[in-house]
Amino acid sequence: MEAGKHVILRDLRGVDYIKKVQRGRDERIGKYKFPLGLLIGQPYGSTFREEGGKWKGAAKITLGTIDDDGQGEGEGEEEDAAADDGDGDGDGDMEQPEPAVGGAGLQRTNQYLQDDNTAQALTQDDIHRMKQEGKSADELIAALKAHSSTFAGKTAFSQQKWLVKKQKKYVKQLTAMRPGILELCELYAQIDPAKICGLRVDYVGAIVTLGNVSSGRRVIVCDQSMGLITAAIAQQMAGDGVLYRVTRRGVSDKIVHELDTPTQHRQIVTDVPSEILTSASPWEEPWLKQTAATPHTATQQGTEAAAPPPPAAAAAAAGPEREEPDKDTTQAADAQTTEQGDKAASSRSRGRKRKAPPTSRPSDDDPGSTTPAPPASDVRRERRIAIFKRLENEGVQSVVGVLAGPPKGDPAAMSGEMMTLADRYLKPDGRFVLYCQYAQPLTSLQAALHRSPSFIHVRVEQLFLREWQVLPGRTHPLMASDMRLLGGFILSAIKVLDG
Query: For the domain that residue 202 is a member of, what is the CATH number?
Result: 3.40.50.150
Task: Check: CB of residue 236 under 8 Å from CB of residue 214.
Answer: yes
**Is the backbone peptide bond immediately before 407 cis, with ω within 30 degrees of 0?**
yes
Q: What percent of the chain has pLDDT over 90?
A: 36
Residue type present at position 417: E
CA–CA dist 494, 312 (Å, integer) = 77
Task: For residues 43 and 176, give the distance between their C-alpha atoms in angstroms, rounded to a whole number.
Answer: 8
Q: Is residue 345 part of a domain?
A: no
**How many CB atoms lie under 10 A from the CB of residue 204?**
23
Choose the weakest-confidence range: 117-131, 212-226, 273-287: 117-131
Residue 224 has a pLDDT of 92
State the pLDDT at residue 480: 76
Residue 37 lies in a domain: no
Query: Residue 342: which pLDDT band, with cuts at 50, 70 and 90?
Result: low
User: Confidence class of residue 150 from pLDDT cuts 50, 70 and 90?
Assistant: confident
Pairing of strands 217-223, 396-403: parallel
Does 372 score more than 70 pLDDT? no
Per-residue pLDDT at 260 exceeds 60: yes
* pLDDT for residue 312 is more than 60: no
Residue 346 vs residue 263, higher pLDDT: 263
Q: Judging by DSSP bridges, how do beta strands 269-273 and 241-247 pair with one another?
A: parallel
338-349 burial, b for 16+ CB within 10 Å, e for fewer?
eeeeeeeeeeee
**Residue at 455 is within a domain:** yes
Mean residue pLDDT of the chain comes to 77
* Average pLDDT of the segment spanning 95-118: 56
Q: Rounded distance, CA 201 to CA 464, Å?
A: 12
Q: What pLDDT score was predicted for residue 169?
A: 86
What is the per-residue pLDDT across 36-94, written as a single tens digit (0 to 9) for each?
999 999 999 999 988 877 898 888 876 743 333 433 333 333 333 434 444 444 343 43
Q: Are residues 235 and 149 in the same domain?
A: no
Which residues sit opposite 50 in a β-bridge?
55
Q: Between 434 and 80, whose confidence is greater?
A: 434
pLDDT band at 381 (very low <50, low <70, confident <90, very high): confident
Same domain, 280 and 396: yes
Lowest mean per-residue pLDDT among 31-45, 141-155, 294-308, 318-332 = 294-308
Domain that holds residue 190: 181-286+381-495
> For residue range 198-223, what is the model confidence (pLDDT) as tens digits?
999 999 999 999 999 999 999 999 99
Which residue from 13, 168, 157, 156 is spatially nearest to 93, judged by alpha carbons?
157
| Co-location of 279 and 395 in the same domain | yes
Report the alpha-carbon distance of residue 30 to residue 52 in Å, rounded: 19
117 with 192, same domain: the answer is no
CA 29 to CA 17: how far, in whole Å?
A: 7
Give yes or no: residues 158 and 187 share one domain. Answer: no
CA count, 13 A, side-chain hemisphere, 160: 11
More confident residue, 55 or 486: 55
pLDDT value, residue 373: 57
Kindly state the average pLDDT of the residues 455-471. Answer: 90
Pick the more confident residue, 187 or 86: 187
Burial of 222 (0-12, 13-18, 19+ CB in 10 A): buried
- Residue 90 CB-density burial (10 A; 0-12 exposed, 13-18 middle, 19+ buried): middle
pLDDT value for 406: 79
Task: Specify whether 388 is located in the same domain as 459.
Answer: yes
Q: What is the DSSP string of 370-415?
A: EEEPPPHHHHHHHHHHHHHHHHHHH-EEEEEEEE--TTT--HHHHH
Same structural domain, 134 and 189: no
Q: In terms of domains, do 186 and 165 share one?
A: no
Residue 221 within any structural domain of the chain: yes
458 within a domain of the structure (yes/no):
yes
Q: Say if 42 falls within a structural domain.
A: no
Average the pLDDT over 328-354 and give the result. Answer: 48
**Mean pLDDT on 92-105:** 40
Q: Are residues 164 and 186 in the same domain?
A: no
Q: Classify each residue of 142-174 as buried b or exposed e, where b means 16 or more C-beta atoms within 10 Å of its C-beta.
A: ebbeebbebbebbbebbbbbbbbbbbbbbbbbb
Query: In terms of domains, do 488 and 404 share one?
Result: yes
From 169, 191, 216, give the residue that closes a domain. 169
CA dihedral 283, 289, 292, 295 (to 10 degrees): -150
**Per-residue pLDDT at 105:** 40
* Residue 261 to residue 265: CA distance in whole angstroms: 6
Q: Is residue 7 included in any domain, yes or no?
A: no
Looking at residue 249, its amino acid is R
Residue 372: alpha-carbon gap to chain centroid: 42
Q: Over 50: is that where the pLDDT of 287 sits?
A: yes
The structural domain count of the chain equals: 2
In angstroms, rounded to a whole number, what is the distance separating the alpha carbons of residues 233 and 265? 9
Check whether residue 277 and residue 385 sit in a common domain: yes
* Residue where one domain finishes, among candidates 135, 169, 203: 169
Side by side, which strands form the sheet with 489-495? 269-273, 241-247, 217-223, 396-403, 426-436, 489-495, 455-461
The lowest-confidence range among 228-242, 329-343, 377-391, 463-477 is 329-343
Q: Are residues 162 and 188 in the same domain?
A: no
